[in-house]
Structure 1
Amino acid sequence: MLTTTTTRVLEPAELDAALAVLDRDPVANAFVAARVQVAGLDPWRLGGEMWGWYADGRLESLCYAGANLVPICAGPAAVRAFADRARRSGRRCSSIVGPTEATAELWSLLEPSWGPAREIRAHQPLMVTEAMPPDIAPDPLVRRVRKDEMDVIMPACVAMFTEEVGVSPLAGDGGLLYQARVAELVSAGRSFARVEDGRVVFKAEIGAATPRACQIQGVWVAPEYRGRGLSKTGMAAVLGYALRDVSPVVSLYVNDFNTAARATYRSVGFREVGAFMSVLF
């Protein structure tokens, strides 16, 4: 029995069908689900197109095509279809990121026309927790960043991004888009820091948030403060805010070579449940 498949850009009226696909894995899909729940499927509001792969008229898989290219619940046939469409469209994204198996297959199909990548991070453990650590006291000095503290938080955000990604977020447009994203998280009450003498010594954000799961990102300790345990107590504090105010499940993903960070996250209760892969351009 033959299955008829097709791939196309989703229409705004298909929002419920898209959310149903995203809801199959609320942790792995938190980043895209959070955007869709706020912006719907209109490309202008969403910041990109949402491609759908249909089998016998039923929506089975998605691919977010914006600043990132993100395969969602995509098996081999869907990945091939998304790769074909991406090749025809040309590369517009700064990275491909998603669950390891689908992302690796997508990159293998795109590399001949899109390569080489600036960096490939082939295994980034996805970690989750649903509870506060019983034996670690949260840092009482970690608090929400105020809206009037953009000049305080921005240098730390820029330093973290540059250290993590390998390029400055101020390149290109002078940092306007990046500053807008930082301001968005501050305004939403999802940016947290420990500030001493007007300077950030620890920070982290809840970057994506849905009623079912949220994702911590941008964890950073000022270099001269590292080794003092601030990341552990700071993460415990941010985790408390996340579980109390945002979602019942908190996730993050981390580079496999960052053994210190992985140990910190395990110490506050995170466990590995999967892995992501990132291809950076």
Structure 2
Amino acid sequence: MLTQTTTRVLEPGDLGAALAVLESDPVTNAFVTARVRVAGLDPWRLGGEMWGWYTEGRLRSLCYSGANLVPICATPEAVRSFADRARRAGRRCSSIVGPAEPTARLWRLLEPSWGPARDIRPRQPLMVADRLPDGIEPDPYVRRIRKDEMDVIMPACVAMFTEEVGVSPMAGDGGLLYQARIAELVGAGRSFARIDNGRVIFKAEIGAATDQACQIQGVWVDPAHRGQGLSVSGMAAVLRYALADVAPVASLYVNDYNTAARATYRRVGFQEVGAFMSVLF
């Protein structure tokens, strides 16, 4: 019997209840929903555990515990319970990321035992678009990356990741996991770039994808070509692909201090609907 409130690791039989929680906010939860839809709740296939917080016998909140620690629809009481479990287990994740308020609360509880963090990004606006902008012509040279172009796209992906996160994705395992993820996106037709003379000058990926929402990530312009408007027309092209082929709503999140990127996304029709927070280790 479940007590009035309890937290436990979810099992494959809990899939329906977990998806009901995830799909209550399909945009915010797109990253985890996409993983669960593909892998279910088996920890080996999912790449981590899914913790569930119950009240009065009903699943109310979730927390994905894998390479990232992600609170999902997490009430203050659920966050406290998730923090207790995470503290007991010890830190195994490379980041905590999720909606700003519960993520900040979770970090306050974990910081005494898990801190200090390498970097904290307390407000990352979550932006969405469900239509192409008027008056902006998508870049006709932005296209899907082919499987035989991995050697062309990887240097740009590594440069973007290093610039954004502050460490190279090639560290640790030599980049095997990162290269596998990029290869997965290329294979799924969700990696896009403009390539001029064999060099990537703009790129982006559609990372998480469900039938309700998708998330654009990895937006990057070659430093030598910045300030020329390539990000606006390039993003318009990726948004066109996203809405036509993937989901009716596209989202992304961006650092609040990146005013240039935020201005670009607004020009392409993205509107702020919330905020994420990231704690990087």
Q: Secondary structure at the match of 2:202?
A: strand
**Aligned twin of 1:17:** 17
Task: Work out the CA distance in 2 between the residues paired with 1:78 and 1:156.
Answer: 39
User: In structure 1, what is the Cα distance between the partners aligned to 2:236 and 2:39?
Assistant: 31
Find the counterpart in structure 1 of residue 82 from structure 2. 82
RMSD across aligned positions (CA) = 0.6
Identify the residue that residue 230 of structure 1 maps to in structure 2.
Answer: 230
Q: Which residue of 2 aligns with 1:266?
A: 266
Cα distance in 1, alignment partners of residues 75 and 194 from structure 2: 43
- Give CA deviations for 1:103-157 in whole Å, capped at 9, x if unaligned: 0000000000000000000000000010001110000000000000000000000
Matched with 1:277 is: 277
Structure-2 residue corresponding to 1:72: 72
1:113 equivalent in structure 2: 113
Partner of 1:95: 95
**Alpha-carbon distance in 2 for matches of 1:96, 1:245:** 30
For structure 2, the residue ranges without an aligned partner over 5 or more in a row are none
Shift of 1:70: 0.1
Q: Which amino acid in the other structure matches residue 40 of structure 1?
A: G
One-letter amino acid of the counterpart of residue 97, structure 1: V
Matches of 1:222 and 1:235, distance apart in 2: 14
CA shift for structure 1 position 57 = 1.3
The 3-state SS of whatever aligns with 2:74 is: coil
For 1:138-153, list aligned pairs within 5 A: 138-153=138-153
Structure 1: distance between partners of 2:64 and 2:200:
33
Q: Distance in 2 between matches of 1:75 and 1:16?
A: 20
For residues 49 and 11 of structure 1, what CA distance do their matches in structure 2 show? 9
- Secondary structure (helix, strand or coil) at the match of 2:164 reads helix
In the alignment, which residue of structure 1 is the partner of 2:199? 199
Query: How far apart in 2 are the matches of 1:143 and 1:257?
Result: 29
CA–CA distance in structure 2, aligned partners of residues 190 and 45 of structure 1: 22
AA aligned to 1:104 is A
Aligned match of 2:157: 157
Instruction: Measure how far apart 1:56 and its partner are.
Output: 1.5
Moved over 2 A (4+): none
| CA distance in structure 2 between the partners assigned to 1:14 and 1:242 by the alignment | 30
Task: Write the deviation string for residues 35-93 of structure 1: whole angstroms up to 9, x where unpaired.
Answer: 00011001111110000001121110000000000000001000000000000000000
Q: Secondary structure at the match of 2:171?
A: coil
Deviation at 1:179, TM superposition (A): 0.2
d(CA) in 1 for partners of 2:18, 2:199: 42
> 3-state SS of the aligned residue for 1:233?
helix
Other structure's SS at 1:26 match = coil
Matched, 1:215 2:219: no
Question: What corresponds to 1:182 in structure 2?
Answer: 182
Number of positions where the alignment pairs a residue of Structure 1 with one of Structure 2: 279
Question: Partner amino acid for 1:77?
Answer: E
Query: What displacement does 1:258 show?
Result: 0.2
In structure 1, what is the Cα distance between the partners aligned to 2:249 and 2:243? 7
Q: Which runs of 5+ in 1 are unaligned?
A: none
Partner SS state of residue 125, structure 1 = strand
- Equivalent position amino acid for 2:19 in 1: L
**Where in structure 2 are the equivalents of 1:128-139 lying within 5 Å?**
128-139=128-139
State the SS of the aligned residue for 1:128: strand
- In the TM superposition, what whole-angstrom CA distance separates every residue of 1:200-220 from its partner, at most 9, and x where no partner exists? 000000000000000000000
Aligned mates of 1:44, 1:137 — CA distance in 2: 44
Percentage of identical aligned residues: 80
In the alignment, the residues of structure 1 paired with residue 67 and residue 223 of structure 2 have an alpha-carbon distance, to the nearest angstrom, of 29
Q: Secondary structure at the match of 1:93?
A: coil
Distance in 1 between residues matched to 2:4 and 2:88, nearest whole Å: 21
> Structure 1: how far apart are the matches of 2:277 and 2:202?
26
